[in-house]
Amino acid sequence: MTELSLEVTRSLPYPPERVFDAWLDPAMLAKFMVPGPGMSVPEAQSEAKVGGRFRIIMRTPDANDLPHEGEYLEIDRASRLQFTWNSPFSQDDSTVTLNLTPDGDGTMLRLTHVRFPDEESRNNHQGGWTLILEALEGALA
Domain housing 123: 5-140
The answer, yes or no, to whether residue 1 has pLDDT greater than 50, is no
Alpha carbons 66 and 137: distance in angstroms, whole number:
23
Can you tell me whether residue 111 is helix, strand or coil? strand
Mean pLDDT calculated for residue range 103-110: 96
Type of residue at 17: E
- Averaged over 51-73, what is the pLDDT? 96
CATH code of the domain containing 123:
3.30.530.20
Beta bridge partners of 110: 9, 99
Say how many domains are in the chain: 1
Check: CB of residue 69 under 8 Å from CB of residue 54.
Answer: yes
pLDDT (tens digit, 9 = 90+) per residue, 110-131? 999 999 999 999 999 999 999 9
109, amino acid identity? L
The dihedrals phi and psi of 63, each to the nearest 5 degrees, come to 70, 25
